[in-house]
């Protein structure tokens, strides 16, 4: 899926009108039916099946909040199929509205900016639930998983559940990540997909529990490991491209400590610095072609990279400094490409400069618990997004190797460090 991009001078983009807020509408039955019909071929190709657990507790016309793990684009097709004919609005990223705002709103979509404080989102969700009498589908992880494990959930989720006060349903998918992992450039594998839809919390449960207790329940529900699932269920992925671009996730080599020299191609991952090679087996394990296998499990390697980033931050040596192509979003007409610049990320946060000195934006480390970053974003390129409620800056690194995953890890670890220091100052 592509996105409308237009070249425009930075000052002209800032002068463009900002789209006004519109309350969500209940999606028409024709859109719900159309989405289900359009999803049929993909689901048939994956031999899709699903189970319902405790769903008899939810009334046919009772609005609810539906939480779903986020693995790939097939997630929405799954939801559209197993929820039909229940009307539901979909919380989705605001850039998904670019060039098709009217259609997205008519289909019941609610725009939000990822990892940006959005004070209107809860009000929009309440409007959909209480005024439009429609359920709301939300992907609380907000971004696809890089390594097949859960991405962080916002601490505000527990409070959100208490404000909404409606039943909570959980949709958990199996095989969706294995079929289409984000790192693999949208190349589909032959993997069966299934899902569980479970009645998770009643309004009474939500009233009786604290926000932190609700957060703990959600963290447990969103604890998964897709590579472990593949291994334990003997899911064979025989495609010869299964390791293509795996270097986006495994960007640092444990054997020599080099970053940005990894290459995932075919079924192998190799290091351009020391020459050591790994094979990604058909059952999701890593095996060194020669010598010691430092990590057999991709999430373990990724966790080691996280620990390495945290140590860099604690030692005061972490620094990202890369040239970038800059695009800006101020409304849903299109994404505006405004020129080139430089993105710097340190323990002090982000600093983006560009457009011949006319753009100068800083973002503190406590601004967000994670980072909107993506591989092959709308088929444009690997991307890091920062910004505010008014303007989003989409930065596409042009040098420096695979920096997207490391920057997300650094943002998450820096946020934890910042929060810990705040608590220590208060205590």
Q: What is the pLDDT of residues 353-384, one digit of tens each?
A: 999 999 999 999 999 999 999 999 999 999 99
Instruction: Tell me if the domain spanning 21-232 has CATH number 3.40.1130.10.
Output: yes
The pLDDT of residue 423: 85
Task: Evaluate if residue 400 carries a pLDDT over 90.
Answer: no
Give me the pLDDT at residue 104, please: 92
Q: Say if residue 1's pLDDT is above 80.
A: no
Q: Contact 89/64 with Cβ under 8 angstroms?
A: no
Distance CA(32)–CA(253), nearest Å, equals: 47
- For the chain, what are the domain ranges? 21-232, 246-314, 316-426
The answer to whether domain 316-426 has CATH 2.30.29.30 is yes
**The 65-68 sheet, strands edge to edge:** 49-53, 194-201, 168-174, 65-68, 135-138, 88-93, 109-112
Q: What is the DSSP string of 108-139?
A: TEEEE-TTS--HHHHHHHHIIIIIS--EEEE-
Q: What is the pLDDT of residue 371?
A: 96
Whether 146 and 183 have beta carbons less than 8 Å apart is answered as: yes
Q: How confident is the model at residue 401 (pLDDT cuts 50, 70, 90)?
A: confident
- Six-digit token string for 292: 């010691």
What's the rounded Cα separation, in Å, for the pair 368 and 127?
A: 26
Condensed to tens digits (0 to 9), the pLDDT of residues 218-229 reads: 999 999 999 999
Mean pLDDT of 207-228: 96
Q: 18 falls in which pLDDT band (50, 70, 90)?
A: confident
pLDDT reported for residue 237: 98
pLDDT tens sequence across 152-188: 899 999 999 999 999 999 999 999 999 999 999 989 9
Res. 117: pLDDT tops 80: no
Answer whether 372's CB lies under 8 Å from 385's CB: yes
| Strand, helix or coil for residue 351 | strand
Q: Is 4 helix (H, G, I), strand (E, B) or coil?
A: coil
Provide the pLDDT for residue 158: 96
Give the mean pLDDT of the chain: 95
Domain pair 21-232 / 316-426, same fold: no
């Amino acid at each position: 899926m592509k996105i409308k991009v237009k070249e425009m001078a930075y000052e002209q983009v800032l002068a463009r009108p900002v789209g006004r807020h519109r309350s969500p509408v209940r999606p028409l039955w024709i859109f719900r039916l159309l989405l289900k019909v359009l999803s049929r071929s993909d689901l048939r190709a994956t031999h899709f099946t699903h189970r319902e657990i405790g769903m008899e507790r939810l009334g046919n016309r009772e609005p609810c909040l539906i939480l779903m793990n986020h693995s790939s684009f097939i997630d929405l097709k799954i939801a559209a199929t197993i929820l039909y004919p229940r009307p539901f609005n979909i919380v989705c990223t605001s850039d998904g509205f670019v060039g098709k705002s009217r259609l997205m709103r008519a289909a019941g979509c609610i725009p939000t900016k990822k990892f940006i404080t959005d004070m209107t989102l809860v009000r929009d969700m309440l409007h959909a639930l209480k005024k439009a009498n429609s359920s709301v589908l939300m992907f609380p992880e907000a971004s696809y998983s890089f390594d097949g494990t859960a991405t962080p959930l916002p601490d505000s989720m527990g409070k959100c559940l208490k404000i909404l006060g409606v039943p909570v349903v959980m949709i958990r998918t199996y095989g969706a990540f294995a079929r289409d992992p984000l790192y693999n450039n949208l190349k589909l594998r032959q993997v069966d997909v299934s899902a569980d839809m479970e009645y998770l919390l009643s309004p009474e449960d939500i009233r009786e529990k604290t926000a932190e207790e609700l957060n703990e329940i959600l963290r447990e529900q969103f604890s998964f490991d897709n590579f472990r699932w593949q291994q334990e269920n003997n899911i064979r992925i025989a495609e010869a491209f299964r390791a293509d671009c795996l270097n986006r996730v495994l960007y640092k080599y444990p054997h020599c400590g080099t970053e940005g020299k990894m290459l995932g191609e075919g079924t192998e991952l190799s290091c351009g610095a020391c020459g050591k090679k790994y094979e990604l087996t058909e059952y999701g394990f890593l095996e060194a072609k020669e010598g010691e296998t430092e990590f057999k499990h991709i999430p373990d390697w990724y966790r080691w990279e996280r620990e390495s980033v945290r140590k860099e931050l604690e030692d005061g040596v972490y620094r990202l400094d890369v040239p970038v192509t800059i695009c800006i979003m101020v409304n849903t007409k299109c994404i505006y490409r405004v020129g080139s610049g430089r993105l710097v990320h340190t323990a002090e946060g982000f600093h983006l400069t560009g457009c011949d000195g006319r753009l100068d934006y800083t973002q503190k480390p406590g601004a967000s618990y994670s980072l909107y970053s993506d591989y092959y974003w709308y088929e444009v390129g690997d991307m890091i997004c920062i910004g505010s409620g008014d303007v989003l800056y989409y930065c596409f690194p042009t040098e420096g190797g695979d920096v997207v995953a490391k920057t997300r890890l650094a943002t998450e670890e820096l946020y934890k460090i910042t929060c810990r220091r705040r608590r220590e100052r208060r205590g």
